[in-house]
Amino acid sequence: MIRFLADECCPKAVVDRLRADGHDVRYAAETDHRVADNQLLAIANAEDRIVVTEDFDFGDLLVRDLLPASGVIILFLPKLDPQARAERLLGILADPGFDGRARLTIIETRRVRQRALTPP
């Protein structure tokens, strides 16, 4: 089981599917409404959660500003409906070779890109 913090921009369908799959998901839309991205990142780090988002601003915080992170997954799947986005994410998570800890992961339709990050 992986612990996640889903950003407000994540569709509820993605959150619901992660929870149905047994993952512990804190959903910003339910618990941290309108909290700034850097604050969400701090919460995720304090709780050892990987951020799931569709917001590339998190990439700026990690790469440009060098903020530490337990991990961030950016779903860049604009042509897929929320259910298909959830299925794509779960498929990646099920891969035994996947490790999202201390990495910026960008999930696209046909590829997955990763970059190592400074751990918290």
Q: Which residue, among 118, 113, 112, 3, has the nearest Cα to 51 in the 3D structure? A: 3
Structure tokens that stand for 46 in this block: 């304090």
Structure tokens that stand for 33 in this block: 């409404």
At 119 the pLDDT is: 77
Average pLDDT, the chain: 94
Q: Which residue, among 92, 97, 99, has the nearest Cα to 50 in the 3D structure? A: 99
pTM here? 0.95
Three-class secondary structure of residue 50 per DSSP = strand
Q: Which residues contact 12 (CB under 8 A, 6 or more apart)?
A: 27, 29, 82
Round to the nearest angstrom and report the end-to-end CA distance of the chain. 20
* Residue range of the domain that includes 108: 3-116
CATH of the domain at 67: 3.40.50
pLDDT at 70 over 90: yes
| Number of domains, the chain | 1
Q: Which residue, among 60, 74, 106, 64, has the nearest Cα to 9 in the 3D structure? A: 74
Span 24-28, average pLDDT = 97
Tell me the longest C-alpha to C-alpha distance in the chain: 35
